[in-house]
Amino acid sequence: MADLIRITGIKGFGYHGVFEAERANGQDFYVDVELEVDLTRASVSDDVKDTINYAEVIDLVVEEITTNPVSLIEKLAGRIAERIKITFAQAARVTVTVHKPQAPVAAEVKDISVTISR
């Protein structure tokens, strides 16, 4: 399938991380979502009910970022992907990238991210 909905840079403030300081202070997380979905019908009908409403996807992602802290961004990415697959069953494939640009590492890095596909 070649049709995609891509949402990049969904921002949320969360308390995810292995270290106590990350859990106490929190940090910004950014999420990119790519959905493989047949958009044939929506491209003809011009009706939001024939596609996946990206505003609803964004709300779901922000809720996952801002609630229920986890240690690993791998877990967060998996949780987001699974919830999207359950909520939007018409998505044939979901790819989620979680960015943690303020990760506590010894060197200066622009970004650390994890990408999963389901």
The pLDDT, as a whole number, for residue 2 is 83
Q: Do 61 and 42 form a contact (C-beta atoms < 8 A)? A: no
100 is known as an active-site residue: yes
- pLDDT values of the chain reduced to their tens digit, one per residue, 118 residues: 689 999 999 999 999 999 999 999 999 999 999 999 999 999 999 999 999 999 999 999 999 999 999 999 999 999 999 999 999 999 999 999 999 999 999 999 999 999 999 9
Domains defined for the chain, CATH in brackets? 4-101 (3.30.1130.10)
Residue at token pair 């802290």: 69
* Cα atoms found within 13 Å of the Cα of residue 20, Cβ hemisphere only: 0
Identify which of 2, 6, 1 has the alpha carbon closest to the alpha carbon of residue 96. 6
CA dihedral for 41, 44, 50, 55, sign (positive or negative): positive
Other Cβ atoms within 10 Å of 28 Cβ, number: 13
The pLDDT, as a whole number, for residue 1 is 62
Active-site residue identified among 11, 49, 100, 110: 100
